[in-house]
Amino acid sequence: METIHPLDIEIERKLILKEYRNLLRPLKDNMTNSDRKQIRLAFEMAMDAHKDMRRKSGEPYIIHPLKVAQIVVSEMGLGATAAICAILHDVVEDTELTLDDIKREFGIKTAKIVDGLTKVSGVFDLTSSIQAENFKKLLLTLADDVRVILIKIADRLHNMRTMDSMPRKKQLKIASETLYLYSPLAHRLGFYAIKSELEDLGLKYTETEIYKDIARKLADTKRERNKYINDFIRPIKDRIEKEELTVNIYGRPKSIYSIYNKMKIKHITFEEVYDLFAIRIIIDTIPEKEKADCWKVYSIVTEFFTPNPDRLRDWVSTPKANGYESLHTTVMGHKGKWVEVQIRSVRMDEIAEKGFAAHWKYKEGSADKTLDTWLREIRELLRNPDYNALEFLDDFKSNLFSKEIYLFTPKGDLKILPSEATALDFAFEIHSDVGYHCIGAKVNHKLVPLSHKLNNGDQVEIISSKKQKPNDAWLSFLVTSKARAKVKHALKEEKRTVAKLGKEILDKKLKQFKYPHDDKALQELMHYYRQPTSMELYYQIAVKKIDLKELKDFELKGGKLIAPFHPENKIQYEEKMQQLASANAELLIFDESSDKIKYSLAKCCNPVLGDDVFGFITVDEGIKIHRTSCPNATEMMSKYGYRIVRTRWTKQKQLAFLTGIKVTGLDDVGLVSKVTNVISSEMKLNMQSLTMNAKDGIFEGMIKVYVNSTEQMEELFERLRGFKEIISVTRIES
């Protein structure tokens, strides 16, 4: 075993004490003597428990829980109890300490939170194939104490900040989970700063080159940007001071992830993103005057700069469901640049930065109710025993990041739903029974169907009938988790009734052949007919999707029912593929070793030699190769991390890859022949298709072309951009 030099031990001891003091500093104003002693005890216990443990980077393990506790206190605004739980969050799972030890020293509340953190430590475990089930468990702890989830987010944030020493496969998987669930969760709980950092760090590991490129360009334009911000702020600040308002005005660069998203969605370059920063105006005012002062500042801003009427967002009058309050406007600044301006009070700013924790501080405020409602709905969803974990994950995820619309009942009561919500979602928002029996609605006094998508400000009246009952088609247009869960539950209940009939049919058939109907026989039948549950088997029999005539081919050996030979089922196949994958931990695509495994390139993202890629084990198509920027990548890595295999390219064979290119520019005679000449004659590339559409002097072209590598693709892009008529050339993502 490697010996540590006494000098190193002393340096480490000083580092640990420094981090401990960094934790205590923001707590000192609100900490009692008892709190101080308890934190010290937690620190000493964790220090002793983790004394022989080190992180991948080589630093003492105790640094990690201390850093997590610092995030919980400094960046989330929580207090001493949360700090103690953060310090102890890994001890029960990783060390000799037990929950009873924690309960004895710190009381039942702390023990409960640490227990919650221990139970969910398997969430997104790298080897786990049941992440969704574990995530459901994690959210279940919301019912006990929301601090469990906040400490879990802090734990993830520190892991993301210190992931450089991890293997690439783990980096990809953890970053994908973070983008898929943790950043939306931080957003929903109102932690905007943490959400942005998680997104940026997620991008850093999934799209490293793009991340570095945007970060470099932001650094290069910093000086010019700061000068623009100062010129923009100066007249506004002078005018506000005359109104005797106390404000803090500053410019903030947009996050790298939000800039990347804009570039991807709008197919534009970094230089074409106009809003690289936002101006924030924080007003120090009393709660009674907040709203009036925000509008007063808005009025001053629009005296100097013309606002875009379509870009006004008033979350001061109606806060978001997570409690976010702010006034956003976009105005035309100097040099023809659009500038986003955010106006809010000190209280609103604290809620925006510290999210859920700030709600406890301002508990009297009505904004807190919407968050409580959301948490109550989550608990309700989790209590539904029929809710499949993956279904839950999808429905929960879809509601985390969605924008909100504000709707009204006929009596004028306000309801907040996700954008894209339908009339049927609104019915379930009123009451489950109203939803079950809904046959239509009147929106702004006009009759509309159940699937009608609602818009901000709509007034909705639900029309119902006792004869109506839920059906499968409803799930194709319902948006809210609450409504989807209720409908799935109702359909399951109906399915159970039908399944009873199927059970009776099967019982008769088994008696006819004198076969047993015990658990082992049932498992054999489920296995043979490839049904996941006994209820599904009975249901398929009842609706005549399964014909029991094959029962005559079954055998009875030693009192056991034995099914005849049939092809491998999904589980066996996945096990075999996993063995193959682990035997080839680093699959060499297009190399001799890849001949051993069936692979193909995914159509959703069309990888090209040179792209950053990963392999995904499918059920019946071998290994699919995806780009790490694939639209489906984060979801696959989050839900099915155990089916991901590391891949890298070799250039031993010249292969052609189909890729899509979008070209826009000014319509000009002969441009098509110039483009085809570059592709076919100059670069000798094979084109699959070319479509050009021109309107009002602007053309848009879609080209499908075979290239050998990303380098060759970039060369083609550069050549096309060389034509003065062409404005932009981008790769089609999917």
Query: What local confidence, expressed as pLDDT, does residue 123 receive?
Result: 45
Secondary structure in 3-state letters for 269-292? CHHHCCCCEEEEEEECCCHHHHHH
Determine which one of 59, 94, 725, 733 is catalytic.
Answer: 94
Query: What local confidence, expressed as pLDDT, does residue 567 receive?
Result: 43
Question: How many CA atoms does the CB half-sphere of 520 hold within 13 Å?
Answer: 9
In a domain, 508, yes or no: yes
pTM for the model stands at: 0.65
Q: 361 and 386 in one domain? A: no
Give dist(CA 421, CA 184) in Å, integer.
19
pLDDT tens-digit series, residues 133-156:
555 555 655 545 677 888 888 999
Q: 291 and 415 in one domain? A: no
pLDDT tens-digit series, residues 247-292:
999 898 889 999 998 888 888 888 888 778 889 999 999 988 999 9
Q: 587 and 531 in one domain? A: no
Determine which one of 8, 10, 48, 93 is catalytic.
Answer: 93
591 is catalytic: no
349, 193 in Cβ contact below 8 A? no
Give dist(CA 194, CA 581) in Å, integer.
35
Beta bridge partners of 328: 313, 342
Q: What DSSP line would sit under 33-50, residue for residue?
A: HHHHHHHHHHHHHHHHHT
Q: 275 and 201 in one domain? A: no
Q: 533 and 608 in one domain? A: no
Q: Which of 426, 460, 481 is the last residue of a domain?
A: 481
In a domain, 1, yes or no: no
Name the residue range of residue 518's domain. Answer: 489-562
Q: 233 and 93 in one domain? A: no
Give dist(CA 530, CA 421) in Å, integer.
36
Q: 251 and 222 in one domain? A: yes
In a domain, 261, yes or no: yes
pLDDT along the chain (734 residues), means of 10: 56 86 84 87 86 80 90 85 88 80 85 75 43 57 67 90 86 84 80 90 90 91 90 91 88 89 84 84 91 93 90 86 85 88 91 67 46 59 56 58 77 82 92 89 88 88 88 88 85 86 85 80 80 83 81 74 58 50 48 56 82 78 81 75 72 70 83 85 85 81 86 88 85 72
Q: Which of 562, 585, 608 is the last residue of a domain?
A: 562
CA dist 294 to 25, 284, 299, Å? 33, 10, 9
**Domain total in the chain:** 6
Give dist(CA 629, CA 269) in Å, integer.
17
Query: What local confidence, expressed as pLDDT, does residue 568 receive?
Result: 45
- What region does 445 belong to: left with phi over 0, alpha with psi -120 to 50, or beta? left
644, 637 in Cβ contact below 8 A? yes
Q: 287 and 391 in one domain? A: no
94 is catalytic: yes
In a domain, 263, yes or no: yes
Q: 523 and 450 in one domain? A: no
What CATH number does residue 225 fall under? Answer: 3.30.460.10
Angle at 407 between CA 404 and CA 412, to 5 degrees: 150
Length of the chain: 734
Which helix (H) or strand (E) is 613 found in, with range?
Answer: strand 613-617
Q: 587 and 554 in one domain? A: no
R_g of the chain, CA atoms, integer Å:
30
Q: Which of 513, 528, 562 is the last residue of a domain?
A: 562
Q: 425 and 355 in one domain? A: no
Sequence-ordered list of residues with C-beta below 8 angstroms from that of 113, at least 6 positions apart, any chain:
81, 82, 85, 144, 145, 147, 148, 151
Give dist(CA 13, CA 509) in Å, integer.
74
Sequence-ordered list of residues with C-beta below 8 angstroms from that of 684, at least 6 positions apart, any chain:
none
547 burial level (CB within 10 Å; 0-12, 13-18, 19+):
exposed
Give dist(CA 312, CA 321) in Å, integer.
18
733, 631 in Cβ contact below 8 A? yes
Q: 662 and 613 in one domain? A: no
